[in-house]
A and B are shown apart, each in its own frame.
Chain A
Amino acid sequence: MSLLELSNVHVRYGAITALKGLDLRVEQGELVALVGSNGAGKTTTLSAIAGVHKASTGSIVFDGKPIHAKRSADIARRGIALVPEDRGIFPSLTIEENLRLGSYLVRDKKTVADELDRVFDRFPILKERAGQGAGTLSGGEQQQLAIARALLSQPRLLMLDEPSLGLSPTLVDRMFEIIQQLHEEGVTILLVEQNVTRALALANRAYVLTTGSLTASGTPQEIMDSIDITAAYLGGVQVAGTEG
């Protein structure tokens, strides 16, 4: 049984149908990449899974139980963490307070403290600035904070929406390193990226989304092989790592 399974998921925004029958699955321990050009429906997919925007038809099953009718807080409680495209930092809270909210669901104080130490080891900048307002962080630091906060909830599935967006090239490298590390440590990850090459280099499997429908899926190699065929559909996606 897959950890996460989407079947025939449709999502509408008024008259626009942003997802037209998506089938997608994520196995325990996998890093799955969801790639596609701007407006393809990647964010919509993560929103539907997280319960932010409900699927109009189709089913989303997590750990054997349907979650598509649940509220986002209850989906989070089942172990799905989303790091949204805009990072969702609480700017009027300190970094430490942002992190505390990450462990909102973890009851055991010792676990919270241990996990916080691990997160601080991974992201030393957050420790240095723990007492500062989160609104003062740079884009890259905010992204680290957002991921750190998601990790503190000890998610069974971590969903990252374009974590490399708006970061400098050095920070992009660092971000993909972190994602790889997390994957190696056993975290199950659903990664949304426009940076196709970088995402495919890390992923166990990948899906290519084009205006609401899948145009390719499989191992990175299979995607690469079919990329000529799909290039026409990919539109804005640059397959070589040359985006600016």
Chain B
Amino acid sequence: MDGVLQFILNSLSLGSVYALFALGLIMVFGILKLVNFAYGELIMVAGYTWFVLQGTLLPLVVVVLVAIVVAAFTSVVTERVAFRPVRSNSMNAMLITSFAVSTLLQNSALVFVSPRARAVDVPVFFHTNINLGGVQISVSNVVVILVSTLTLIGLLVLMQKTRLGITLRAAADDFRMLQLLGVRADQVIVSAFAISGVLAGIAGFLWISRIGSVSPTVGMAPLLIALIAIVVGGMNSLSGAIVGGFFLGTLTIALQLLLPQDMLAFRDAVIFAVVILVLVFRPQGIVKGRFATERIG
């Protein structure tokens, strides 16, 4: 029984971080049909903000909030400086731009900080356990699940109830029509990048507190995870990203548990095989979704 609960908590914890990764990526994809390869670097930027600020006496909560703001700001700046000028060009131009931005940010970290990973001070209590009705639960799992749940609820309210959310959903449906109603494209796109950056910041904090360090390439795994999650979950809706994230998280934890010790090295290969299998039967991903598939700049 203990094992089952442990498995559920671990899956929820990893899955919810993956879901946030995927949501941040799909925010921009839904509107521009662009896979933003620089998304992982927003997580990196959040991580370095944490690293730089940990020497100060600021409490962790403040450090994290600043890191989120810096990630969102970076996201908005990349949109303004790099993506907006090439938006009317081909999709390839956008993709190459996103590679360029990704490389540029990684290299900046390499030059200005260090090519090597730098440790962040994860609070000690993250690694302690609390006793809940006889079951040992790690504090870090509780923090991750709590923060991601709050973030998911916040995002849900934003997307469903606010004018901005309605506008963003409409843009994913039919961006051209939205502009015909007087909504300026730049405003919508910059909002999507900002939200994507906030999600990257929050998920980045959770991810980096898990691995305990930040390096120039720290964003590459989250980008890959987010990409696989939205492909397997379904690229045409926000719920697809969430489902894909939890699916991947649960699968990862399950394999960790089930695979024999000498097979663990092949865990990712098995994950890819399962993902391919899912796509064979559901080419559109688990959730079908409704977003328009063609791109309108």
Contacts and interface: CB of A to CB of B under 8 A. Distances in A.
Interface of A: 50, 52, 71-74, 76-77, 81-82, 84, 88-93, 97-98, 100-102, 104-105, 135, 149, 153
B174 A90 contact: yes
Given A71-B185, A93-B169, A100 B163 contact: yes
Interface in B231-252: 237
A91 B290 contact: yes
Contact of B183 (A50, A73, A92): A73
B42 interface: no
B181 A50 contact: no
B180 A90 contact: no
B184 interface: yes
Interface residues of B, number: 21
18 contacts: A50-B180, A73-B183, A73-B185, A76-B180, A84-B177, A88-B174, A90-B169, A90-B173, A90-B178, A92-B173, A92-B291, A100-B166, A101-B178, A101-B183, A104-B163, A104-B181, A105-B181, A135-B290
Given A100-B163, A100-B166, A101-B167, A93 B173 contact: yes
B108 interface: no
Contacts, number: 73
The 8 A-B residue pairs with the shortest CB-CB distance, nearest first, are: A88-B177, A76-B182, A90-B173, A92-B290, A105-B182, A90-B170, A73-B184, A73-B179
B176 interface: yes
Contacts of B169: 90, 92-93, 97
B182 A104 contact: yes
Contacts of A91: 173, 290
B291 A88 contact: no
Given A97-B166, A104-B182, 11 more contacts: A52-B176, A52-B180, A72-B176, A73-B180, A76-B179, A76-B180, A90-B177, A92-B290, A93-B166, A93-B173, A97-B169
Interface string B189-228: 0000000000000000000000000000000000000000
A217 to B, nearest CB: 26
A129 to B, nearest CB: 17
Contacts of A104: 163, 167, 181-183
Contacts of A52: 176, 180
B181 A102 contact: yes
Nearest to B171: A90
A77 B163 CA distance: 18
Contact of B180 (A72, A92, A93, A98): A72
